[in-house]
């Protein structure tokens, strides 16, 4: 990190012979195919789900239809008579009573075909909250208002499950980022002060993290989440949950930053900065903290999955987010019961989405960990 302290004129001269730390990191990262794939998956998911959910999802989050608990329709190219069509289509749904299950079910009716089109008109929406639109990525076009496409089935209210997963992902994926952002802020500031000054702050940070680690963390999350008043608005509940997740998790990061600062503050460049008359806060935030950033980023990336999963687990237990908020955890609330697994197993698609996100983060984080140390030969 010595490069960070060179002033700009020296940097300019050196540019021809050496690369900056971050470009070395980027080179090394690029070579790790698994990490790049992980990062790419995440980028695509965040863009599609967090920004373009309204466009990707064929229906609105709360669009109720007359097809509750319908199976996913198969996307077909061949119809029952063996005719091939280049444009994929789905069969319409028909209500039937299943004698064995003693239940109303929906089965595909090969007489009715709905061709699938791209960029169809559907439920109106506002992209990012202000760009109005009504074009959806895909859907069926038919004169029949009861024509729907449910590629992942529907829930008990007849809402398209694929749309709900896409919208639910927005809250789940953002809580990971937002919570981790708060953790980084708490953790690195308190860790830096604790490592640099020592004394009372250090005592507090050390004891506090020790105390938090005496609690088993999942039961602690549950107890704190259960304390969020039921009458709060959904937005307040969401932010409170984020703060709880960050509050319990910042200790580990603070301890790591503290350890790094303890070793960095003895370096000559800090002495140089001090003799040049830099203030304590300048040394801490301009000279010391940037030196810990690579570690912080790696730790943060690797702990985002834990945060997403905590939200999922809490909401699934009914202690975190509640309807009308829709997150992956809230979707699991309905899908995770024995009844639901028996009769509407397609709702477990949520699990697939969660696992893809978690895996992608782990792949990315692991690659970052190797890349952040570009000077090693490995």
Partner 1 sequence: MVNYILRRLGYAVIMIVLVSFVGFCIIKLPPGDFLTQKLEQLRARGDRSAESQIEALRAKYGLDRPFMVQYTTWAVNFLKGDFGESFQYERPVKDLLGERLTMTVVLALATLIITWVLAIPLGVYSAVRQYSLGDQIITTISFIGIGIPGFLLALIILFFAIVVLNQDVLGLFSKEYIDAPWSVGKVIDLLKHLWIPALISAVTGTGGLIRIMRGNLLETMGQPFVEAARARGLRNRDVIWKHAVRVAINPLIVILGSEALPGIIGGNALVSIVLNLPTIGPLFVDSLRRLDMYLAGTCIVFFTILLLVGNLLADLVLAWVDPRIRLE
Give the footprint of partner 1 on this chain (CB under 8 A): 211, 213-220, 222-224, 226-230, 305, 309, 313, 316-319, 332, 336, 338, 341-342, 345, 348, 351, 354-355, 358-359, 362-363, 366
Nearer to partner 1, 242 or 357 (CB): 357
Q: Which is nearer to partner 1, 34 or 78 (CB)?
A: 34
Burial class (CB in 10 A: 0-12, 13-18, 19+), 81: exposed
Question: Which backbone phi and psi does 373 adopt, to 5 degrees?
Answer: -115, 70
Q: In what order do the strands lie in the sheet with 131-140?
A: 76-78, 84-98, 103-127, 131-140
- CB 336 → partner 1: shortest distance, Å? 6
CB of 17 to partner 1, least distance (A): 33
Q: Provide φ and ψ at 374, rounded to 5°.
A: -70, -10
Q: With respect to partner 1, which residue has the nearer C-beta, 226 or 271? A: 226
CB-nearer residue toward partner 1: 38 or 291 = 38
How many Cα atoms are found within 13 Å in the side-chain-facing hemisphere of 94? 9
Q: Is the peptide bond preceding residue 324 cis, with omega within 30 degrees of 0?
A: yes
Minimum gap (Å) between residue 359 Cβ and partner 1: 5
Closer CB to partner 1, residue 222 or residue 278? 222
With the CA atoms of 47, 75, 60 and 144 taken in that order, what torsion angle do they form, in degrees rounded to the nearest 10? 150
Biggest CA-to-CA distance, the chain:
86
User: Based on CB atoms, which residue is closest to partner 1, 225 or 283?
Assistant: 225
Residues for the chain: how many in total?
Answer: 378
Helix (H) or strand (E) holding 260: helix 234-264
Q: How far is CA 120 from CA 44, 72, 74, 116, 354, in A?
A: 22, 20, 19, 9, 28
For residues 291 and 320, which CB has a smaller minimum distance to partner 1 in the complex?
320
| Cβ 332 to partner 1 shortest distance, Å | 8
Beta carbon of residue 306, minimum distance to partner 1 (angstroms, whole number) = 9
- 159, 167 in Cβ contact below 8 A? no
Quote the least distance from Cβ 81 to partner 1, whole Å: 31
Q: With respect to partner 1, which residue has the nearer C-beta, 272 or 356?
A: 356
**Shortest distance, CB of residue 352 to partner 1, whole angstroms?**
9
Q: How far is the CB of 211 from partner 1 (least distance, A)?
A: 6
Q: Which of 372, 378, 192, 184 shows the shortest CA–CA distance to 294?
A: 372
């Amino acid at each position: 990190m010595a490069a960070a302290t060179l002033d700009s004129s020296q940097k300019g001269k050196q540019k021809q012979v050496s690369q900056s730390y971050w470009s070395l990191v980027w080179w090394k990262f690029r070579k790790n195919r698994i990490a790049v794939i992980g990062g790419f998956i995440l980028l695509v998911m965040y863009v599609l789900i967090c920004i373009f959910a309204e466009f990707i999802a064929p229906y609105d989050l709360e669009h109720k239809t007359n097809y509750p608990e319908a199976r996913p329709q198969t996307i077909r190219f061949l119809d029952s008579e063996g005719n091939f069509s280049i444009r994929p289509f789905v069969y319409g749904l028909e209500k039937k009573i299943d004698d064995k299950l003693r239940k109303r079910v929906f089965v595909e009716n090969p007489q009715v075909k709905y061709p699938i089109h791209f960029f169809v008109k559907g439920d109106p929406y506002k992209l990012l909250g202000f760009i109005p639109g009504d074009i959806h990525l895909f859907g069926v076009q038919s004169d029949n208002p009861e024509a729907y496409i449910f590629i992942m089935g529907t829930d008990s209210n007849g809402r398209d499950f694929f749309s709900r997963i896409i919208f639910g992902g927005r809250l789940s994926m953002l809580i990971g980022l937002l919570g981790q952002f708060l953790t980084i802020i708490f953790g690195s500031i308190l860790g830096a002060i604790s490592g640099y000054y020592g004394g009372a702050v250090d005592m507090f940070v050390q004891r506090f993290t020790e105390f938090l680690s005496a609690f088993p963390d999942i039961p602690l999350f549950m107890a704190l989440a259960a304390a969020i008043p039921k009458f709060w608005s959904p937005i307040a509940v969401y932010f409170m949950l984020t703060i709880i997740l960050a509050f319990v998790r910042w200790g580990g990061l603070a301890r790591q930053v503290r350890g790094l600062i303890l070793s960095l503050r003895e370096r000559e460049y800090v002495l140089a900065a001090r003799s040049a008359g830099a203030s304590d806060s300048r040394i801490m935030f301009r000279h010391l903290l940037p030196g810990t950033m690579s570690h912080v980023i790696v730790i943060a990336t690797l702990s985002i999955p834990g945060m997403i999963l905590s939200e999922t687990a809490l909401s699934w237990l009914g202690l975190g987010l509640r309807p009308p908020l829709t997150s992956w955890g809230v979707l699991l609330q309905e899908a995770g019961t024995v009844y639901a697994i028996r009769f509407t197993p397609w709702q477990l698609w949520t699990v697939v989405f969660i696992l893809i996100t978690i895996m992608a983060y782990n792949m990315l984080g692991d690659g970052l960990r190797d890349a952040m140390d570009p000077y090693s030969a490995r």
